[in-house]
Amino acid sequence: MTGQLNIDAVERAVIHVVFAGIRFDLALAGLEIAATDDDYLVKLAVARRLKVPVSRFDDYLVERNADGNLTIRPETVFG
The CATH number of whichever domain residue 64 belongs to comes to: 3.10.20
44 contacts 50 by C-beta, under 8 angstroms: no
* Amino acid 25: pLDDT: 96
In whole angstroms, what is the distance from residue 76 CA to residue 4 CA?
35
In a domain, 1, yes or no: no
* Amino acid 46: pLDDT: 97
Q: What is the mean pLDDT of each run of 10 residues along the chain (79 residues)?
A: 48 90 93 92 97 96 94 84
In a domain, 41, yes or no: yes
Give the residue numbers spanning the domain of 45. 7-74
In a domain, 42, yes or no: yes
Nearest alpha carbon to residue 29 among 43, 12, 17: 12
Domain count for the chain, please give it.
1
* Amino acid 31: pLDDT: 93
In whole angstroms, what is the distance from residue 62 CA to residue 47 CA?
13
In a domain, 47, yes or no: yes
